[in-house]
Amino acid sequence: MTKEMEFFSFLLEQYAFFKKTTADKILNKLDALNLTERVFNMYEMYHSEAIENTFSDIDSMIKDATIKN
């Protein structure tokens, strides 16, 4: 497993815990909004900042994508 995939898995689990849901549901939501690859590709930024900032960024992406759909 690449370091990016390992971090992405960790991030999904942590974000799911933060949102009081499951990683599967988070992944399904990201997939439905076409955000999975975008979040995955943010590894360089996300792994070096506070996880709360990452959660806030993901919340914003989901909100923006939901408004557009």
In tens, the pLDDT along 17-48 reads 999 999 999 999 999 999 999 999 999 999 99
pLDDT band at 69 (very low <50, low <70, confident <90, very high): low
13 contacts 23 by C-beta, under 8 angstroms = yes
The distance of Cα 9 from the centroid of its chain, to the nearest Å, equals 9
Question: What's the rounded Cα separation, in Å, for the pair 61 and 51?
Answer: 15
What pLDDT score was predicted for residue 52? 96
State how far the Cα of 62 lies from the Cα of 69, in Å rounded to an integer.
10
pTM for this prediction: 0.92
Name the CA radius of gyration of the chain, rounded.
11
Q: So what's the pLDDT on residue 68?
A: 77
Asked whether residue 15 carries a pLDDT value surpassing 90, the answer given is yes
